[in-house]
Amino acid sequence: MDRRALAAGLLACFVLAGCREEVGQQPVEQRAAPFRSSQLDQQTEEYITAIRRLDFLLGGADWQQPQQLDKTYLTMWYASYLQLENPQAADILTSYFREGEEGAFFPAEELEMVVEARFGISPEELRRDNLTYREEGAYVTPGPAGELRQYEIDLLAAVREEGELALTFTVSAGEELPTIRRTLILADGPLGECSIYRSLITEAPKTGG
């Protein structure tokens, strides 16, 4: 991976943090009927991609703010992030392995830049009481990073209001994750590299009546 390109892209996110897409000036609510993730228009594909980038966090516990996330999970999430952002490089993680040691070793500044850009967690917050952080300046996954899980994501609604984008969706991953309905809140602004995640909660199943 070209780490200079990664740093440049994330720097652009910070510069554009105060920007908003023109679509944010449209009516605040945009709803769509349920559909399969294979049936996408460009806007919906961006929403699905923003959801997919959470990877295994999609099947994890709820969090009302990013600071509630288990910091070990954020280190593991970064391993998934690298694979998702570099689909043509199947061996992207090998450069982070060390002979005779288990786990992937991510340079602290590199991981912290991405986590701060995506979750708004400062390096100081991330290092505090973090079992995956080493004083040598690296975050180490607690074991080998696994393969990416295959998800099926169906977008149910996209609502913009008061500077936030709420994406309600169902997600499943075969027997590993039965279908659940969740809502992801992001800061409303350019998606892609600048997506800032704010919360992820599970919605109660809809009942008839």
DSSP structure string for 26-51: S-SEEE-----TTS--HHHHHHHHHH
pLDDT value of residue 27: 33
The residues near 79 (Cβ < 8 Å, ≥ 6 apart) are 93, 104, 106, 141, 145
Each domain of the chain, given as residue ranges in start order, spans 19-202
11-65 pLDDT, tens digit per residue, is 445 433 333 333 333 333 433 333 345 455 788 899 999 999 999 899 999 999 9
**188 pLDDT more than 60:** yes
Extract the runs of DSSP E, i.e. beta strands, from the chain: 29-31, 105-107, 133-134, 138-140, 152-161, 164-173, 177-187, 197-202
pTM over 0.85: no
Share above pLDDT 70 across residues of the chain, in percent, rounded to a whole number: 76
**7 pLDDT more than 60:** no
113-137 pLDDT, tens digit per residue, is 999 999 999 999 999 999 999 999 9
Structure token pair of residue 191? 């998606």
| Local confidence band at 91 (pLDDT 50, 70, 90 cut-offs) | confident
